[in-house]
Amino acid sequence: MTKEIAIAAKNITKNYGEKSALNGLNLSVNRGEIYGLLGHNGAGKTTTVSIFTTLIQPTSGEATINGHDIAKEASQVRNSIGYLPENVQLYEYLSVFENLEYLGKLSGLKNPRNRILEVLDLLEFKSHLHEKVSTFSKGMKQRVGVAQAILHSPEVLFLDEPTSGLDPEGVIQLREIISLLNKELGMTIFMNTHLLSEVTKLCTQIGILKNGKLIYENSLSSTIDSFDETDSLEDIYFKIDGASKP
Amino acid sequence: MVFKAAFKHELLSSLRSKSPQLVVTVFLVLTSISSIIGWLTVRNVTKIYNDIVSQNLTKAPNPFTNVPSLYYMRDSVIYVVLIGSLMSIILGAQASLRDRKSNANELIKTRNVNLVHRILGQLSAIASIIVLLEIVALLTSFILIWVIQKTPLNIGAVFSLLGYGAVSAILMIALAAIGFTFGTISKSEESSLLYPIVGWALVTFTIPQIITSIHPVALLNPTPAVSTGTGLAQSVINVISPLAVMENFKAIANAILGVDKSIQLSLVDLLSFSLFAGVGVMASVVISSKSFGRKLDA
C-alpha cells in the first residue's frame, strides 16, 4: 500500500538577489510522519518552512501540501497547515484566551471559545486561560504558540526550531506535546532543528539540508541501521554531511 | 469577521500598552484643562487691567470684555497640534509595530486573512479611541466653561464645539494612519517613530516658519498678516501653504470656534486639509496591506 504524501517539494530554488538559499530542493513527507529537517545555520531550513507555509514564494519549482500547490492554491494550503515560528512572542498585554480568540478568528473560527478550551485542555494549560502572556516563561509561551497553531485543526503542522531557547524541562514538555499531536490527532509534523537529540527522540523521518540542497532523506530507523552499530546519530550526521566533527 | 476581530484586538492592545497610555493621559489632561488655562489668562489680564484703570493709566476697554464663550478653548487647538498629533502618531505606529515585534505577522500571513479588512479594523479602533478622547475632552470643556461663565453654552456654541471636535479627530486619525504606515514599512522601531515625527515637525514648524519669514504671521500666536504684495515671495507662499497642514487645521478650528479673528480661513486651507486627511488614510491602507509582514531589523 502506498502512503499518501502530505508535503512535497520538486526542484525548489530560492534566490535572494545573488545569494541562493535553496538550490533544487526535492523532498517528500508521508502523512502521519514527524519529519525532522536538520542542517547547519544558514543551510536553508527556515526558507524551506517559509515556502511551505506560503510566507514566501520560491524562485522556481513546485511545492504541495496535501496535494495543493502552494502558489496556485495558497488558500487551501493555509487552511490545512498550522505554523509555529521561531521565537513567537504573541501579544504580551493580552491573556492566553484573548490571544487565542483573536488568532482563532483570523483562522476562520466564528466562535472559537469551545475550541480554545478543548485545545488548552489537550495541552494541559487550561488553568492559565486568563493570565497575561507577558508573565510567562519561554516554555509557557511556546505552549500557547502550539495552541494557536492547532486551533483550526490543521492536518500538517510546521515548527521552526521549536525547542530553541527552552530550558530542559520546557524541551521535554514540548516534545511530549509534539508526540501527542502526532499520535492522538494524527497530525503530520514538519520541524526544523539543528538539535540531533530532538530528531532522535521525536522524528520518524529525517532530511539533511546542506547549502540549500537535501543531501540525505530516510526514515530514522533505516538511517541508524545503515551505519555502524557503534555510530551515534551525531556520528552519522557528520558522516552524511561530510563535515569533520569538531 | 476579520474587521470585527481586528477592531476588538486593537482596542484591547492599545488601551493596555504603556506608551500609548502615557500620551493619551497627557493629551486628555491638557485638553481638558485648556479651558481652565484660558479662564486663568482672562482672570489675570482682567485683574491687571482693573489695576491700570484704577490708576487712570488707560481708558481703553478691557480686551476680554465680550470675548466669545468658546474663547476658553483657544489653547485646546494648540494642544491638538502638539500633543494630539504626537499621541496619534504613536498610537498608529505602535499598532503595526506590535505585530512585527511579536512575530505575530508571520502567523497572520499563514492564515487566509483579508489584510485590508484587518487594517481597517485596526484603524477604526484607533479612530474610536481618538473620538472617545475628544468626547471626554469636549465634555470636560463644556462643563468647565459652564462653571467659569456660570451659564451653559448656547446651542450655536455647542455645535461649534462639536464641529471643532470633529475636525480635531479627523486630523488625529489621519496622523494615526500615517504612524501606522511607518510602523509597517520602517526597518526599526526607532525609525518608525522618527520619520513621521520629523515629518510632523517640518509641517508644524519649518514650513510655517518659512511662510512667516516671507510673510510675517506669528506661528502659535497669530497676528494679522502683513501683505508683502505679489512676486516671488508670494509665489513661494502659494506653493508651500497647502503643505502647512497644521496651519490649515488651526485656521479651520479657529473659524469654527470663532475665537481668533486674525486667522483667515481660505478655500486652500479647507481643500489641503481634506486632501491630507483623505489621502493619508487611503494611502495608509494601501501601503500597509501591500507591505504587511516586513521583518524588523535585528
The Cβ of residue B85 has, within 10 Å, a number of other Cβ atoms equal to 28
Contacts of A83 in chain B (CB under 8 A): 106-107, 110
pLDDT band at A188 (very low <50, low <70, confident <90, very high): very high
Residue B30, domain member (yes or no): yes
Joined together, the cell numbers standing for residue A123 give: 495541552
* pLDDT for residue B228 is more than 80: no
Position B219 scores a pLDDT of: 47
**Residue B62 half-sphere exposure, CB side, CA atoms within 13 Å?**
17
Residues 28-67 of chain B whose Cβ lies under 8 A from any Cβ of chain A: none
pLDDT band at B116 (very low <50, low <70, confident <90, very high): very high
pLDDT band at A174 (very low <50, low <70, confident <90, very high): confident
Contacts A–B by Cβ distance under 8 A? 71
Range name among A44-48, A50-54, A220-224, B280-284 with the lowest pLDDT average: A220-224
Q: Per-residue pLDDT averaged across A77-86, rounded?
A: 92
Cα–Cα–Cα angle for B174, B177, B179, nearest 5°?
110
Position B216 scores a pLDDT of: 54
Position A240 scores a pLDDT of: 73
Position A58 scores a pLDDT of: 94
Per-residue pLDDT tens over the stretch B150-170: 888 899 999 999 999 999 999
* pLDDT for residue B223 is more than 80: no
pLDDT band at B254 (very low <50, low <70, confident <90, very high): confident
Per-residue pLDDT tens over the stretch B11-37: 999 988 887 788 888 888 887 777 778
Contact B222, B265 (CB under 8 A): no
pLDDT band at A164 (very low <50, low <70, confident <90, very high): confident
Give how far A244 is from chain B: nearest CA, Å: 31
% of chain A at pLDDT higher than 70: 92
Position B1 scores a pLDDT of: 84
| Helix ranges (DSSP H) in B55-154 | 74-79, 85-101, 104-109, 115-149
Residue B295, domain member (yes or no): no
* pLDDT for residue B215 is more than 70: no
Nearest to A79 among B102, B112, B118 (CB): B112
Number of domains chain B is built from:
1
Contacts of A53 in chain B (CB under 8 A): 110
Nearest to A78 among B5, B103, B112 (CB): B112
Residue B297, domain member (yes or no): no
Q: How far is CA B216 from CA B38, B211, B227, B238, B246, in A?
A: 25, 7, 8, 14, 17
Helix (H) or strand (E) holding B174: helix B155-185
The Cβ of residue B156 has, within 10 Å, a number of other Cβ atoms equal to 11
Separation of alpha carbons B296 and B189, rounded Å:
7
Residue of chain A minimizing CA distance to B113 = A106
pLDDT band at B214 (very low <50, low <70, confident <90, very high): low
Q: Most A CBs within 10 Å: which of B16, B99, B101, B112, as the mutation test of the A interface?
A: B112
Nearest to A93 among B1, B16, B109 (CB): B16
Is the minimum CB–CB distance between B298 and chain A shorter than 8 Å? no
DSSP B81: I
The Cβ of residue A53 has, within 10 Å, a number of other Cβ atoms equal to 24
A106·B101 Cβ contact <8 A:
no
A88·B103 Cβ contact <8 A:
yes
Separation of alpha carbons A113 and B135, rounded Å:
34
* pLDDT for residue B85 is more than 80: yes
Q: Per-residue pLDDT averaged across A39-58, rounded?
A: 91
Q: Per-residue pLDDT averaged across B197-221, rounded?
A: 74
Host domain of residue B232: 2-45+52-290
B1·A110 Cβ contact <8 A:
yes
Q: What is the pTM of this model?
A: 0.85
Is the minimum CB–CB distance between B295 and chain A shorter than 8 Å? no
* pLDDT for residue A52 is more than 50: yes
Distance between first and last Cα of chain B:
33
The full DSSP string for A181-225 is HHHHH--EEEEEES-HHHHHHH-SEEEEEETTEEEEEEEHHHHHH
Position B218 scores a pLDDT of: 47
Position A154 scores a pLDDT of: 93
DSSP-derived 3-state class of residue A26: strand
Residues 259-278 of chain B whose Cβ lies under 8 A from any Cβ of chain A: none
Q: What is the mean pLDDT of chain B?
A: 85
Give how far B62 is from chain A: nearest CA, Å: 54
Position A229 scores a pLDDT of: 59
Q: How far is CA A105 from CA A146, B2, B192, in A?
A: 16, 7, 28
Separation of alpha carbons A138 and B238, rounded Å:
58
Q: Say if residue A189 is exposed, middle or buried (CB neighbours under 10 Å; 0-12, 13-18, 19+).
A: buried
pLDDT band at B286 (very low <50, low <70, confident <90, very high): very high
CA B61 to chain centre: 34
A107·B111 Cβ contact <8 A:
yes
* pLDDT for residue B62 is more than 60: yes
Contacts of A75 in chain B (CB under 8 A): 112
Separation of alpha carbons B166 and B3, rounded Å:
23
pLDDT band at B171 (very low <50, low <70, confident <90, very high): very high
From the list B256, B34, B274, B39, the residue with the least C-alpha distance to B136 is B34
Contacts of A47 in chain B (CB under 8 A): none
Range list of β-strands (E), chain B: none
Nearest to B107 among A87, A92, A103 (CB): A103
Contact B84, B31 (CB under 8 A): yes
Give how far B236 is from chain A: nearest CA, Å: 44
From the list A149, A57, A137, the residue with the least C-alpha distance to B111 is A149
Contacts of A162 in chain B (CB under 8 A): none
Q: What is the value of ipTM here, to two decimals? A: 0.84
Range name among A98-112, B50-64, B127-141, B184-198 with the lowest pLDDT average: B50-64
Residue B296, domain member (yes or no): no
Range name among A72-86, A227-241, B1-15 with the lowest pLDDT average: A227-241
Position A65 scores a pLDDT of: 95
Give how far A225 is from chain B: nearest CA, Å: 38
Separation of alpha carbons A1 and A26, rounded Å:
23
B2·A105 Cβ contact <8 A:
yes
Separation of alpha carbons B143 and B150, rounded Å:
10
Position B241 scores a pLDDT of: 76
Nearest to B1 among A75, A98, A105 (CB): A105
From the list B102, B294, B11, B15, the residue with the least C-alpha distance to A148 is B102
* pLDDT for residue A102 is more than 60: yes
* pLDDT for residue B221 is more than 80: no
* pLDDT for residue A218 is more than 80: yes
Nearest to A55 among B12, B106, B118 (CB): B106
Torsion of CA B152, B154, B157, B158, to 10 degrees: 70
Position A1 scores a pLDDT of: 47
DSSP B102: T
Most confident of B54-58, B147-151, B236-240: B54-58
Residue of chain B minimizing CA distance to A97 = B9
Per-residue pLDDT tens over the stretch B47-61: 898 899 999 888 888
* pLDDT for residue B258 is more than 90: no
Contact A177, A205 (CB under 8 A): no
Q: Most A CBs within 10 Å: which of B106, B116, B119, B122, as the mutation test of the A interface?
A: B106
* pLDDT for residue A235 is more than 60: yes
B12·A79 Cβ contact <8 A:
no
**Residue A133 half-sphere exposure, CB side, CA atoms within 13 Å?**
23
Locate cell 515637525: which residue? B201
Name every residue whose Cβ is closer than 8 Å to that of residue A19 and which is 6 or more positions away in sequence.
none
Separation of alpha carbons A19 and A69, rounded Å:
25
B108·A106 Cβ contact <8 A:
yes
Contacts of A108 in chain B (CB under 8 A): 1, 111-112
Separation of alpha carbons B133 and B21, rounded Å:
12
Q: Are strands A68-69 and A205-210 parallel, antiparallel or unpaired?
A: unpaired
Residue of chain A minimizing CA distance to B4 = A105
Residue B78, domain member (yes or no): yes
* pLDDT for residue A60 is more than 50: yes
